[in-house]
């Protein structure tokens, strides 16, 4: 694992993936414990490496695209968390079905952004400096900052666009997506302004 950013009450790690499969992140949070964002391939060695940082409690799926070895992770004691439309039909049943009012703690909540898939959902660390885990809703552009990239197999391009436009009033310094290269991907600080600028360019505003 590679430490990406450290806050006073939490640390964000990159675990694996980001090119041929969705990137996996691990949040060590003082209140929530260990939170996996996307599912890495399960192994006892991987579980032990996570436990060396913090006992993993939750496995959050921003979308079904990051689902791997869910039954094994649940057997290891993690609770599977996903937005309603996304969680149905997975290999293992959800433990927590998200909606816009769900939160892990006072400062960790979720923002539905369906479009790439029917139940794409964003995890938000609200307290300053703030961070968003976008899953496949955004991905790095040519300059390395996350932006909107439409795909032919999007569930709804219109929903993706409206979801991104809804970010305009949010303030956050860091942003993480399913596509990640530690050498080239830019994730902060200054993510909110960079993303807004990229989206404006996409829309020719």
Number of separate domains in the chain: 1
What is the domain extent for residue 41?
2-203
Domain of residue 95, CATH code: 3.60.15.10
Q: Which H or E run contains 3? A: strand 2-6
One pLDDT digit (tens) per residue for the chain, 205 residues: 999 999 999 999 999 999 889 999 999 999 999 999 999 999 999 999 999 999 999 999 999 999 999 999 999 999 999 998 887 778 888 899 887 778 888 999 999 998 999 999 999 999 999 999 999 999 999 999 999 999 999 999 899 888 888 888 899 999 999 999 999 999 999 999 999 998 888 777 5
Say if CB 195 and CB 137 are below 8 A apart: no
pTM: 0.95
Say if CB 17 and CB 42 are below 8 A apart: no
């Amino acid at each position: 694992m590679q430490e990406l950013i450290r806050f006073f009450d939490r640390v964000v790690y990159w675990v694996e993936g980001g090119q041929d499969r969705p990137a996996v992140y691990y949040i060590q949070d003082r209140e929530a414990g260990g939170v996996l964002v996307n599912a890495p391939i399960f192994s006892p060695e991987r579980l032990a490496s996570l436990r060396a940082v913090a006992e993993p409690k939750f496995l959050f799926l921003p979308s079904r695209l990051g689902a791997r070895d869910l039954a094994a992770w649940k057997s290891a004691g993690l609770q599977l968390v996903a937005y309603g439309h996304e969680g149905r039909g997975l290999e293992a049943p959800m433990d927590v079905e998200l909606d816009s009012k769900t939160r892990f703690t006072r400062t960790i909540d979720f923002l539905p952004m369906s479009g790439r898939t029917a139940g794409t959902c964003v995890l938000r660390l609200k307290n300053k400096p703030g961070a968003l885990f976008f899953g496949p809703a955004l991905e790095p552009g040519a300059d390395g900052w996350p932006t909107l990239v439409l795909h032919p197999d999007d569930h709804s391009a219109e929903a993706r666009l409206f979801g991104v436009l809804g970010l305009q009033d949010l303030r956050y310094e860091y942003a993480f997506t399913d596509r990640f290269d530690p050498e080239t991907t830019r994730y902060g600080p200054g993510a909110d302004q960079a993303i807004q600028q990229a989206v404006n360019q996409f829309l020719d505003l």
